[in-house]
């Protein structure tokens, strides 16, 4: 659990940057496809900002990588093992596609080594640790052939991957939390349950059984933020930062809405989420406004002991990331790994202007509430 320190002293509700504001500067070498489906080539230099509807046309998208200690990629999974190392697995590597790569980061020295790869390449999957950190679970997600129901476990001591009973259904993007006793609760935000909610599955004793469907399926779409679990409760965060909780040890009852942010200015997707005890953390992502989607450079904390306070803003990280992965180290530092730095152009709808795949990572010291300088090239 977090102490009083810097985190408890941080107050103020989460406020995100206004939607549909773009800043474009420097020289871009264009080439690639915008989200609108057009292509282009050549060079252009522009500066300044556009607000509101923005320009009537946008340059073609630019894709590049920013190397760092880690292999640049988006949509990886990340978790700390009982050996104190952070394992960053899978994701989508530019010019290479989905990967089964696993890298192990020493959080003190910053040294990155190769760990044994997963059996399949996957992205948008859940990588979660057992309560003692001795085992990591890679669950679902997307593979080279599409959505996968595959699950494998990684034994930290033996450094080996082993297959587990697959999910009852392949659901694409997958969210999960591990509770005391080893139960794994999986949310499949792209799969509708029979009653119209979002499908939930529970793995207990090696056998899958259905959990209570998450209500409000429209809120738990493909861009759902997170499923996190420690102790006896799993938490689901939707793209409006509303939080629901379910305690499967209770004989009856389903999901309960425990926190709501009614004044949230838009929908947030592809944020990095992590949990430490009774605290949930978010960093970065994309803010979907009325007219377009813009990068968010925010970080926030929700105290599960005081959910009425809502999400409280943390100091802004050195670099805004989306489609990154986050995990809290044993010495209470929040790590945010890889992902993208994305810029958009607003023309009444969103077009990608540039996408930089990141090999760096950022660290927030939860005792002081201060971010370290970005580790690796920003």
* Residue 47 confidence (pLDDT): 29
**What does the pLDDT read at residue 110?**
96
pLDDT score, position 16:
33
- Which is higher by pLDDT, 253 or 229? 253
Q: How many CB atoms lie within 10 A of CB 323?
A: 26
Predicted TM-score (pTM) of the model is 0.84
Question: Residue 42 above 80 pLDDT?
Answer: no
Predicted confidence (pLDDT) at residue 38 exceeds the cutoff of 50? no
Cα separation, 320 vs 340, whole angstroms: 8
Q: Is the dihedral of CA 209, 224, 69, 143 positive or negative?
A: positive
User: Which of these ranges, 17-31, 47-61, 113-127, has the smallest mean pLDDT?
Assistant: 17-31
User: Cα-atom radius of gyration of the chain, to the nearest Å?
Assistant: 20
Each residue of 179-191: pLDDT tens digit? 888 889 999 988 8
Give pLDDT tens digits for 311-327. 999 999 999 899 999 99
Query: pLDDT band for position 123 (50/70/90)?
Result: very high
Confidence of residue 217 (pLDDT cuts 50, 70, 90): low
Predicted confidence at residue 220, as pLDDT, reads 54
Angle at alpha carbon of residue 173, lines to 119 and 357, rounded to 5°: 80
Burial, 108: exposed, middle or buried (Cβ in 10 Å; 0-12, 13-18, 19+)? exposed
**What is the set of domains in the chain, with CATH numbers?**
5-371 (2.120.10.80)
Closest CA to 267 of 236, 297, 242, 243: 242
Mean pLDDT of 206-213: 92
The answer to whether residue 80 scores a pLDDT higher than 90 is yes
End-to-end CA distance of the chain: 31
How far is it, in rounded angstroms, from Cα 167 to Cα 172?
11
- What mean pLDDT do residues 117-141 have? 96
**pLDDT attached to residue 364:** 97
Number of H helices, E strands in the chain: 1, 38
Angle of CA points 51, 52, 58, to nearest 5°: 75
pLDDT greater at residue 56 or residue 128: 128
Task: Tell me the C-alpha distance between 311 and 59, whole Å.
Answer: 36
3-state secondary structure 261-290: CCCCCCEEECCEEEEECCEEEEECCEEECC
Quick one: pLDDT band at residue 119, thresholds 50, 70, 90? very high
* 363 vs 354 pLDDT, higher one: 363
Mean pLDDT for the chain overall: 81
Contact 167, 186 (CB under 8 A): yes
Q: What is each CA distance from 128 to 71, 140, 197, 339, in whole angstroms?
A: 20, 12, 24, 18
Average pLDDT over residues 295-299: 87
Q: Name the band, by pLDDT with cuts 50, 70 and 90, for residue 230.
A: low
Residue whose C-alpha is closest to residue 184's, from 243, 227, 120? 227
Write phi, then psi, for 284 (nearest 5 degrees). Answer: 65, -150
pLDDT at residue 207 is higher than 80: yes
Can you say whether residue 216 is alpha, beta or left, with left for phi > 0 and alpha for psi between -120 and 50 degrees?
left
Residue that has been written with the tokens 């259905």 in this structure: 210
The length of the chain in residues reads 378
CA nearest to 312, candidates 4, 1, 105, 8: 8
Residue of 204 and 30 predicted with greater confidence = 204
Say what the pLDDT of residue 9 is.
Answer: 44
pLDDT digits (tens, 9 = 90+) for 234-253: 999 888 888 999 988 876 67
* Lowest-pLDDT choice from 13-17, 240-244, 328-332: 13-17
d(CA 265, CA 11): 19
Give me the sign of the Cα torsion angle 237, 336, 150, 181.
Answer: negative
Task: Say how many CA atoms lie within 13 Å of 269 toward its Cβ.
Answer: 16
| Least confident range of 36-50, 52-66, 254-268, 316-330 | 36-50
Whether 165 contacts 153, CB under 8 Å = no
Is-contact 96 144, C-beta < 8 A? no
| Across 10-19, average pLDDT | 32
- pLDDT(73) > 80: yes
């Amino acid at each position: 659990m977090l102490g009083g320190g810097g985190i408890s002293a941080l107050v103020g509700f989460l406020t995100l940057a206004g939607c549909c504001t773009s800043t474009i500067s420097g020289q871009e070498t264009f080439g690639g496809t915008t989200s609108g489906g057009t292509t282009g080539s050549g060079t252009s230099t522009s500066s300044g900002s556009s607000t509101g509807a923005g320009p009537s046309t946008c340059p073609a998208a630019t894709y590049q990588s920013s190397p760092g200690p880690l292999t640049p990629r988006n949509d990886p999974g990340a978790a700390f093992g009982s050996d104190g190392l952070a394992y960053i697995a899978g994701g989508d590597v530019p010019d290479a596609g989905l990967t089964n790569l696993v890298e192990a980061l020493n959080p003190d020295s910053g040294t990155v080594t190769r760990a044994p790869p997963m059996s399949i390449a996957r992205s948008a999957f859940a990588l979660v640790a057992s309560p003692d950190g001795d085992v990591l679970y890679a669950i679902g997600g997307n593979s080279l052939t599409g959505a996968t129901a595959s699950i494998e476990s990684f034994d930290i001591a033996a450094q080996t991957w082993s297959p587990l009973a697959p999910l009852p259904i392949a659901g694409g993007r997958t969210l999960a939390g591990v509770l005391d006793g080893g139960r794994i609760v999986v949310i499949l935000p792209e799969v509708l349950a029979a009653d119209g909610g979002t499908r939930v599955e529970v793995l207990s004793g090696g056998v899958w059984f259905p959990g209570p469907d998450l209500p409000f399926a429209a809120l738990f779409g493909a861009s759902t933020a997170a499923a996190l679990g420690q102790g006896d409760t799993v938490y689901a965060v939707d793209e409006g930062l509303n939080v629901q909780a379910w305690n499967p040890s209770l004989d009856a009852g389903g999901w309960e809405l425990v926190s709501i942010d009614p004044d949230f200015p838009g929908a947030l997707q592809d944020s990095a989420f992590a949990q430490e005890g009774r605290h949930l953390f978010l960093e970065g992502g994309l803010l979907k406004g009325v007219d377009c989607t813009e990068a968010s450079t925010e970080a926030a904390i929700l105290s599960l002991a005081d959910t009425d306070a809502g999400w409280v803003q943390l100091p802004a990280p050195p670099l805004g990331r989306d489609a990154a992965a986050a995990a809290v180290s044993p010495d209470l530092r929040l790590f945010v790994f890889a992902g993208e730095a994305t810029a958009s152009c607003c023309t009444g709808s969103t077009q990608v202007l540039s996408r930089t795949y990141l090999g760096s990572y950022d660290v927030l010291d939860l005792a002081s509430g201060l971010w370290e300088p970005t580790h690796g090239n920003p």
